[in-house]
Amino acid sequence: MRERASSSEESPLSCFALPRHGAILPVSSKPAAPVGTLSPVVRILIGLIFILGPVSTDMYLPAFPMLEHDLGQGAGSAQLTLTAWLAGLAIGQFTLGPLCDRYGRKLPLLLGLVVYVIASALLAVVTNFHLFCVLRFIAAMGGCDNVRCATCHGARCGDRYSWC
């Protein structure tokens, strides 16, 4: 049988070692407290970021007839802008997960806000229908980013509890 390594020679994987059978682990009588609590200002900001996507979808729906007239397209063309928005939201959800895993949530959240604001500002002045659809898609990618990051703020165990 192999002899166990001495305590001075620890295995590189010793941090993953489980306690021996019958070992008594310390148990705290108090539940683990959150590492940090959010200030009311941060809570309000996260709430405002969270509603960007839904408000951007619902606010311009009553203006569909005027949008069709202003952009010079036929009847039903404004519905394509909604399709572009929903496609941007869907594709953005798939691309954001790996970005949040790689860079954390703060950087994608801030970049998404910048993309959303710039695309929305350009949407206010554009007169070309096809460019309008492209900008709606880009704004949705930024808006989806914000909804996803604001929603998963504090969702991981390590963000909320010191014992994880």
Q: What's the Cα-to-Cα distance from 99 to each of 73, 93, 94, 112, 141, rounded to whole Å? A: 37, 10, 10, 11, 13
> CA dihedral in degrees (66, 71, 142, 34; nearest 10)?
0
Residue 114 resides in a domain = yes
CA–CA gap between residue 87 and residue 121 (Å, rounded): 20
Closest by Cα among 43, 75, 54, 69 to 150: 43
pLDDT of amino acid 67: 85
pLDDT of amino acid 71: 82
Residue 13 resides in a domain = no
pTM attached to this predicted model: 0.67
3-state secondary structure of 156: coil
Residue 74 resides in a domain = yes
Residue 45 resides in a domain = yes
Domain count, the chain: 1
The full DSSP string for 111-136 is HHHHHHHHHHHHHHH---HHHHHHHH
Residue 62 resides in a domain = yes
Look up the domain containing 67 and give its range: 40-154
CA–CA gap between residue 132 and residue 81 (Å, rounded): 7
> CA dihedral in degrees (12, 15, 20, 21; nearest 10)?
-120
pLDDT of amino acid 49: 81
Residue 29 resides in a domain = no
* Residues in the chain with pLDDT values less than 50: 1, 5-7, 14-16, 33, 154-164
Residue 93 resides in a domain = yes
Residue 22 resides in a domain = no
